[in-house]
Chains A and B, each alone.
Chain A
Amino acid sequence: MSVSEAKVVTGQLANLSGNDPSGNTRDDCAVISLKHVTREYAGHGSVVRALEDATFSIVAGEWVAITGPSGSGKSTLVNMIGCLDRPTSGELKIDNINTAAMTATELDRFRADKIGFIFQQFHLIPYLSALENVMLAQYFHSMTDETEAKTALQRVGLGDRISHLPSELSGGEQQRVCIARALINNPPILLADEPTGNLDAANQKIVAELLQDLHRNGHTIVMVTHDPEMAGLAQRRIALSHGKVFCHPVGGPMVTLRRATDRL
């Protein structure tokens, strides 16, 4: 998707999703809010600016696709939203809390509470069963609860595969375990990094439907993708190029999302 294409998207859900009539997100409704966020890295004798002056907000329950070519700053942006990194300057608020002011330990705790990660490569621990992989997220969050973990797996359609090792599951099933793990602590934000990038068409469809379902149930989804069809499912696209946010228009309506699903 080009930058100009992204700018075409209209904002029918503006009022529902906390955007004002001019299309800007209202800060008090934002679950993610960036103001002039810049991230710089020290390079060999120079400073590399991976993200420059990014300002936008994402409201609760919104599904946003982050797109852009390699090296455009997607990973930097996702790392900061995922509380794995902090801005060099500017303000990044998650759930109205400024992450820049947090200590490393507070940020770890905050990440466990607020963010659920869905990875392209699933990143399941190979020697733990599907159930144990889900329980691992519980363990680092608070305490393990096998019943809850089983319910999470049933929710993604893997109730009969709980004792299987990742190597005994298909790619789509592994991704569903990954989604169950991301959901288990009930975080307000799901951060999906190319969630269907490693899946065939059939599994891609299953995962896309699962994400749609989660979105319908009120989850905020921030999804990095190269796939225009997956990006089309989102309400809004944020395009990045050379570290700059080129557009953050209010996203497309649910009908667009359904159309895209139909194409899958």
Chain B
Amino acid sequence: MFFRLLMESFRRQRRRKMLAGIAILLGTTAVTAMLALATTIGDRIHKELAVYGANIVIYPKADLLDVKVGGVDVKPASGGAYLKESDLAKLKTIFWGNNITGVSPELPVQMSVARHAGDPLVAASAVGYWFDHDFSGLKTGAPALHPWWRLQGSWPTAQNDPGHRNVVVGANLAKKLSLNVGDNFTVQQTQTAGSAQSSAVVTGIVTTGNETDNEILMTLRDAQTFTGANDAVRRVEVSARTKPEDAFARVDPDSLPPKQREIWYCRPYANSIAYQIREAIPGAQAEQVRRVEQSEGNVLKRISGLMWLISAAALLAAGFAVSAAMATAILERRGEIGLMRSLGASKGAIALLFYAEAGLLAVLAGTMGYLLGSGLAAWLGARIFAGDGGTAEAILIPVLLPVVVALALIVAIAGSTPSIRTALRMDPSAILRADA
């Protein structure tokens, strides 16, 4: 009987239910779109800001020490300390290891180059990088962390023949040496005395817009071979998904009580990720690259605030619309309510019937709102992040479905409550007489 009454109310009051349903649908569509965007916006903004480089940099702790003899800084300009490449695997073992989306170690080599064998050698800097390195299943390297680099040709790959290195040459240096893709030229590392000259093949010419345009880029393995420092890296750039920085992020964790420290540690602030890296890699100093982090945090904060505001406004409007529709529906059915009360229906039984109607409407409209909202989020995401010609990336986050349906239920129940309370306060005998 309960379901018969429930279904009949939908069949007979189709227009009213439709109006309330559309209000909930629109509200939940907006909320789903906002939540879906808010959930993915961090990743998307991180991707967008990734063009500005890494957000954490790691270098040997020894670089922080002043080496002075008689008041004179005698520390070598390039530094003498190295990190171990093999230690980088530990990056994936830290608490927020899964948030690390890119790693790019570097090893500089001082070199001399000549266009042809026998030509006078010219000093040039070279840097060894990962290019398309498999880092615990993550394909990463310098190109991934410097997406603005424009390459003509291809990135170098490690060669078994030490006499023929594959390298990419910076645009300025290539111009200076009249090098084109496929050309051979002579290289000699000058960091250690007495090294032999060898030949290198230009696999690509890169334009970076910074000092890298004057450098030679080679595989990290080649750079290690040149310097004779196997397993050594000088500096590591890390890109990680982080939580926007707030006041708590900036505190010194070692000054916090244990419980607070644990909270700080378990939040994906760039600072706490850097802290965990320092813990994981011996002799490493990891620091946040503040400029990018702050931009990301500020943008996220503003966009999230706006999204919450839009969601709250949409839900509030839906609540009012449900309230109005339910008030009219109950007014139309006051005769039924009076009759049910006279038949001994408790206020609870009548409230249950109306709340079930509101609930069913919320579940249906909420589910549809979830689907529509996911589509809207995909469309908005494509518009905002991919620019013109961008394709909509489907944003169907299953965990949002119960959240959105729960919100729809809250809106429907809150919107219906004033009308249902009014219905329950009605004097059944007065209703039955008024209907007569």
Interface size on A, residues (CB 8 A): 31
On chain B, the residues within 8 Å of A115 by CB distance are 344
Known contacts A105-B346, A113-B344, A117-B343; is-contact A75 B1 (Cβ 8 Å): no
* Interface residues as binary, A112-150 with B (CB distance below 8 Å gives 1, 0 otherwise): 110101011101010110001001110111001000000
Q: Is the CB of A109 within 8 A of B346?
A: yes
A108 touches B432 (CB 8 A): no
Contact with A along B414-436 (1 / 0, CB 8 A): 00000000000001110011011
Chain B residue contacts of A125, Cβ below 8 A: 336, 339
Q: Which of B349, B429, B436 contacts A140 (CB 8 A)?
A: B349
CB distance from A51 to the nearest CB of B (A): 13
- Contact A127/B340 with A104-B347, A140-B345 known, Cβ cut-off 8 Å: no
Q: Chain A CB within 10 Å — which of B336, B338, B432 has the most? A: B432
Which has the most chain A C-beta neighbours within 10 Å: B342, B345, B347, B435?
A: B342
Q: Does B12 contact A (CB under 8 A)?
A: yes
Asked whether A111 is an interface residue with its Cβ less than 8 Å from the other chain, the reply is yes
Q: B residues bordering A, Cβ < 8 Å?
A: 1-2, 4, 8, 11-12, 335-336, 338-349, 427-429, 432-433, 435-436
**Is there contact, CB below 8 Å, between A140 and B12?**
no
Contact B342 A127 (CB under 8 A): no
Q: A108-B341, A123-B432 are in contact. List 4 more A-B contacts (CB 8 A).
A: A84-B428, A119-B432, A120-B436, A136-B340
For the complex, give the distance between the alpha carbons of A117 and B348 in Å. Answer: 21
State whether A144 and B346 are in contact (beta carbons under 8 Å apart), knowing that A84-B427, A123-B432 are contacts in the complex.
Answer: no
Alpha-carbon distance between A112 and B349 when the two chains are bound, in angstroms: 13
Which secondary structure dominates chain A's binding surface?
A: helix
Q: Give Cα A104 to B343, complex, Å.
A: 14
In the complex, what distance in Å separates the CA atom of A135 from the CA atom of B343? Answer: 11
Q: Which of B339, B349, B429, B436 contacts A82 (CB 8 A)?
A: B429
Q: Is the CB of B8 within 8 A of A127?
A: yes
Bound-state CA distance A81–B430 (Å) is 15
Q: How far is the CB of A127 from chain B (nearest CB, A)?
A: 5
Bound-state Cα–Cα, A219 to B341, Å: 22
Within 8 Å by CB of B429, from A85, A120, A181, lies A85
In the assembled complex, the Cα of A108 lies from the Cα of B345 at a distance in Å of 6
**Chain A residues with a Cβ under 8 A of chain B:** 75, 78-79, 82, 84-85, 104-105, 108-109, 111-113, 115, 117, 119-121, 123, 125, 127-128, 132, 135-137, 139-141, 144, 181
A123→B435 contact, CB < 8 A:
yes
Q: Which residue of chain A has the shortest Cβ distance to B333 in the bound complex?
A: A125
Q: Which residues of B contact A105 (CB under 8 A)?
A: 346-348
The residues of A that contact B349 with a CB separation of less than 8 Å are 140
Give every chain A residue within 8 A of B436 (Cβ-Cβ): 119-121
Bound-state Cα–Cα, A115 to B2, Å:
22
Contacts of B427 in A (CB 8 A): 84-85
8 pairs, CB–CB < 8 Å, chain A vs chain B: A82-B342, A84-B342, A105-B347, A108-B344, A127-B12, A135-B1, A140-B344, A141-B343
Which of chain A's residues has its CB closest to B436's CB?
Answer: A121
Distance from A96 Cβ to chain B, minimum over Cβ atoms (Å): 19
Which of B1, B8, B433 is close to A144, meaning CB atoms less than 8 Å apart? B1
- Minimum CB–CB distance from A39 to chain B (whole Å) comes to 12
Given A104-B347, A111-B344, does the pair A136, B429 have CB atoms closer than 8 Å? no
B1: A residues at CB distance < 8 A: 132, 135-136, 139, 144
Q: Does the CB pair A111–B347 fall under 8 Å? A: no
Known: A123-B335, A139-B1, A144-B1. A75 touches B433 (CB 8 A): yes
> A139 touching B2 by the CB < 8 A rule?
yes
B423 vs chain A, min Cβ distance (A): 15
Residues of chain A contacted by B347 (CB below 8 angstroms): 104-105, 108
Q: Which of chain A's residues have a CB closer than 8 A to the CB of B435?
A: 121, 123
A193 to chain B, nearest CB (A): 8
Q: Given the complex of chains A and B, what is the CA–CA distance between A108 and B139 in angstroms?
A: 71
* Shortest beta-carbon distance from A43 to chain B in Å: 15
- What residues of chain B lie closer than 8 Å to A112, measured between beta carbons? 343-345
User: A140: shortest Cβ distance to chain B, in Å?
Assistant: 4
